[in-house]
A = this chain, B = another copy of it.
Amino acid sequence: MKILLVFAHPEPRSLNGALRDVAVQALEAEGHEVRVSDLYADGWKSEVDRADFTQLAPDARLRVAAASGEAFAVGALTADVRAEHEKLLWADALILQFPLWWYTMPAILKGWVDRVYAYGFAYGVGEHSDDHWGDRFGEGTLAGKRAMLIVTTGGWEAHYAARGVNGPIDDLLFPINHGILYYPGYEVLPPFVTYRVDRLDDAGFERVAERLRERMRTFATTAPIPYRRQNGGDYLVPSLQLRPGLGDPAAAGFALHLEDAAVGG
Contacts and interface: CB of A to CB of B under 8 A. Distances in A.
Interface of A: 10-11, 13-14, 40, 46-50, 61-65, 99, 101-108, 110-111, 113-114, 117, 137, 154, 156, 158-159, 161-168, 171-172, 174-175, 178-180, 183, 198, 230, 235, 238-242, 247, 250-257
A241 B158 contact: yes
B49 A47 contact: no
A162 B253 CA distance: 6
Contacts of A103: 175, 179-180
Contact of A14 (B47, B48, B62, B167): B62
Copy number in the complex reads: 2
A3 B126 CA distance: 43
B167 A257 contact: yes
A157 B230 CA distance: 17
Contact of A114 (B106, B113, B247): B106
Contacts of A183: 102
Contacts of A250: 250, 252
B254 A108 contact: no
A113 B62 CA distance: 25
* Residue from A47, A48, A99, A230 having most chain B Cβ neighbours under 10 A: A47
Nearest to A111: B107
B107 A240 contact: no
Given A104-B110, A164-B241, A253-B253, 18 more contacts: A10-B47, A11-B50, A40-B49, A46-B46, A47-B107, A48-B106, A64-B99, A102-B117, A102-B179, A103-B175, A106-B114, A156-B238, A158-B240, A164-B240, A166-B179, A167-B179, A167-B254, A253-B255
Contacts of A110: 102, 104-107, 110
Contacts of A235: 165
A156 B240 contact: yes
Contacts of A105: 110
